[in-house]
Every structure is written in C-alpha cells, then in structure tokens.
Amino acid sequence: MTPAEARSNFPVFERFAYLNSGSAGPLSRRTVEAMQAAEFLALKRGRGATGHWEAAAAIETRLRERIGSLIGVPAENVLLTTSTTEGCNLVITGLRLSPEDEVVTTDAEHPGLLLPLLASGARVKQARVMERPAREALRAIVDEVTSQTRLIALSHVLWLNGHVLPLGQIKQATGLPLLVDGAQSVGAILVHAAVADWYTVSGQKWLGGPETTGALYVADPERMRPQIQSGAASSRTDASRLGLVHLAASMTSGLLAAVEDLPEWGFERGASMVATCRQSLLAAGLEVRTEAGQGTLVSFRVPGDPIELVKRAEASGVIIRNLPDGWLRASVGWWNDESDIDRLTRFLRALPSSA
C-alpha cells in the first residue's frame, strides 16, 4: 500500500491538515468499523454471554502480542491499560517510594508522569534539559543521580520539543531502574522497550487507536508491590495480573485494527515528513526549537495568543495544538503529506506580524 492509499483510509484528511497526533491520532475507517462491529455483537449476543467473553479474551491476547512485537518485548510482559498515565501510576505506586528515596526526571515531563511522581512522597529531582541541546541531555540527567536515587523516570520523546532521550545510554550510565513514558514514541519512532524496566504505551496517539487505550511493559512483575489491585491479580500469573481495568471489546478491537494497519514504511515516512515540516517552518522565518533528527513533534513560536492561534488554525482547516509554555506544536506522522505542511505554513505566513 502506498502512502497515498494508506492516507485515504483516514476521513479527517478530506477536510483538515491534521497535525495533532501527539494529542490524539486520526481514526481510520477500519478502526472505527472494528469498534462498531464489536458493539454490534454485544448488542445482538449480549455482553454477559460466554461467547462474548471468549471472543474478547482472544482479541486481548492478539493485541498484547501485537504490541509486544511492535516494541520488541514478550507478550506475557505486556498488560493493557487505559493510558500512559495509568501505567505510570501503576509503576510508581507499586514501587512504594518513601521520603528517603530520590527520583530523577526532567523539566520537560507531561503531568501524566510528573504528578504521580510528586504524589509518591519521594524527592523528585528534575534534570534541566529543555534549554540544552539534545546531545547534552544525557549529562544533565546523570549529573542529578546520587546514592539515594532509586528510579529514573522520563519520557522517550519529550512532549514539549520532540527531542529523543538516549534511553540505552541513560540505563548504561546509571544502572538504575528506568520507567519510560512512551506517549510520544510508540507508533512514531522505532522502540526497543526492553532497555527499560517499565515502558508505557498510548493507544490513542501515534497508534491511531481509540481513546482510553494503552499498554504497559513490565520487565519483572515481581519487583512491584501494587497498592491497588483488581480481580486479575487472583486469576493471572503474567504481567497482566497487575492490570486494573477491563477494556471494552470495542476498545481493544479498535486498537488491534489500528496496530495491524501500521505500515512497514511508517517510521521512515514519519521521519521524512517531520523533517519537511521543520524545514518549511524555518523557511517561513519562524522560531523553531526542535532540533533536526529527533522525534515526530515540532514546536515553534509565532507572535500572538497561542490558544487563539490554534482556534484560528482550526477554522482555516489546520489542526495543531498550543503548549503550556506558550509554544505551538505540530505532530507529523506517516499519514501526513506535503499538502498538510503546505496548509500549515500558508496559514502561518498569512498571520499579521502582531497576531
């Protein structure tokens, strides 16, 4: 399937230059059809029927296998979640951190990771990476580590600027347990989750699945002492026993369809498109803080109120988002093409200098 053929499966592109997969990816027709089919079966057969439960369990098994294959880990070490935030909370609460423990993170973390860390009772140290070149991130993180550090917890791809943190080097340099927020990486760039001890997955973003779907890779389930448990703890023996929520069959069916449709050329295509976007923004004279060769997010700044600019962009057929520090962000995936980037740059060029 060509990029143009694959793109045609996403109706949103018929109207919009959709550049906000970092919040929620576009839904394909097949993903929505899979969700609808699952709900229709529940309507006809009854959600409490044995056949319904067996079919749902089979879908969950296939989904865990697919996600495990995508991120390079065994399926038995993958549990399904509703979000990366849930995964972060499961790990952080399960480690039973104390005020004597230190956790090293960065100053570029999403609240979905940062707030659970702050609520843990541990001392949280934030390595300053936002104002440094990407190549200096490793040193900034390692410099915060002390003999009291019990956990390194950070994003693979930083949501504020799209920079990719060197997970393997961080693990090698510190030798410490590593929790990775994979919200902006899985489905966007090649991921080898086994470098971490825990790695969270978002279903709704770069995988293009339904909202309230995700996963968590757990290298060693025995390392965690969960403070919150569900019935899975008594009936399962692999990582899935740590799960809290049973996802509806429509959600797992939709995510499975989305993951199965990921093209082999997706990562290469995404990297090419984000490079084109970055160069186009620079050529338009905009301030861009994302370095070349990073993830699939590009953050940039123009004069004016970011919230209002996002609304104006949407009214003109361009979907981007504003960031809490005043910058704007374009999320560029394999489903995007040059026409999306052209529409974005045309909108930005047309803004008055005092927008």
CATH number of the domain that 172 lies in?
3.40.640.10
Handedness of CA 9, 11, 15, 17 (dihedral sign): negative
pLDDT beyond 60 at 354: no
CB-neighbour burial class of residue 189 (10 A; exposed 0-12, middle 13-18, buried 19+): buried
Q: Enumerate residues 6+ apart whose C-beta is below 8 A from 14.
A: none
Do 298 and 256 belong to one domain?
A: no
Q: Which residue has the higher pLDDT, 1 or 186?
A: 186
Do 8 and 130 belong to one domain?
A: no
Q: What is the pLDDT of residue 232?
A: 62
Q: What is the pLDDT of residue 233?
A: 55
Q: How many domains does the structure of the chain reveal? A: 2
How confident is residue 230, by pLDDT bands cut at 50, 70 and 90?
low
Q: What is the pLDDT of residue 225?
A: 86
How confident is residue 106, by pLDDT bands cut at 50, 70 and 90?
very high
Element at 318 (helix H, strand E): strand 318-319
pLDDT, one tens digit per residue, over 268-291 is 999 999 999 999 999 999 999 999
Answer whether 256's CB lies under 8 Å from 80's CB: no
In angstroms, the CA 127 to CA 117 distance is 14
Do 248 and 285 belong to one domain?
A: no
In angstroms, the CA 13 to CA 18 distance is 7
Average pLDDT over residues 206-211: 98
Do 64 and 168 belong to one domain?
A: yes
Residue at 15 is within a domain = yes
Do 182 and 277 belong to one domain?
A: no
Cross-strand bridge partners of residue 319: 18
In angstroms, the CA 56 to CA 351 distance is 50
- CA end-to-end span of the chain: 41
Domain containing 321 — which CATH number? 3.90.1150.10
In angstroms, the CA 235 to CA 245 distance is 14
Q: What is the pLDDT of residue 229?
A: 73
Q: Residue 82 is part of which domain span?
A: 37-260
Q: What is the pLDDT of residue 235?
A: 67
Of the candidates 335, 105, 323, the residue with the CA atom closest to the CA atom of residue 205: 335
Answer whether 242's CB lies under 8 Å from 218's CB: yes
Q: What is the pLDDT of residue 317?
A: 98
> How much is the pTM?
0.96
pLDDT, one tens digit per residue, over 253-271 is 999 999 999 999 999 999 9
Residue at 354 is within a domain = no
Residue at 204 is within a domain = yes
Residue at 174 is within a domain = yes
In angstroms, the CA 86 to CA 113 distance is 9
Residue at 355 is within a domain = no
Q: Which residue has the higher pLDDT, 234 or 76?
A: 76
Do 172 and 190 belong to one domain?
A: yes
CB-neighbour burial class of residue 44 (10 A; exposed 0-12, middle 13-18, buried 19+): exposed
Cross-strand bridge partners of residue 227: none
pLDDT, one tens digit per residue, over 127-153 is 999 999 999 999 999 999 999 999 999
Residue at 32 is within a domain = no
pLDDT, one tens digit per residue, over 302-333 is 999 999 999 999 999 999 999 999 999 999 99
Q: What is the pLDDT of residue 301?
A: 97
Q: What is the pLDDT of residue 234?
A: 56
Q: What is the pLDDT of residue 355?
A: 53
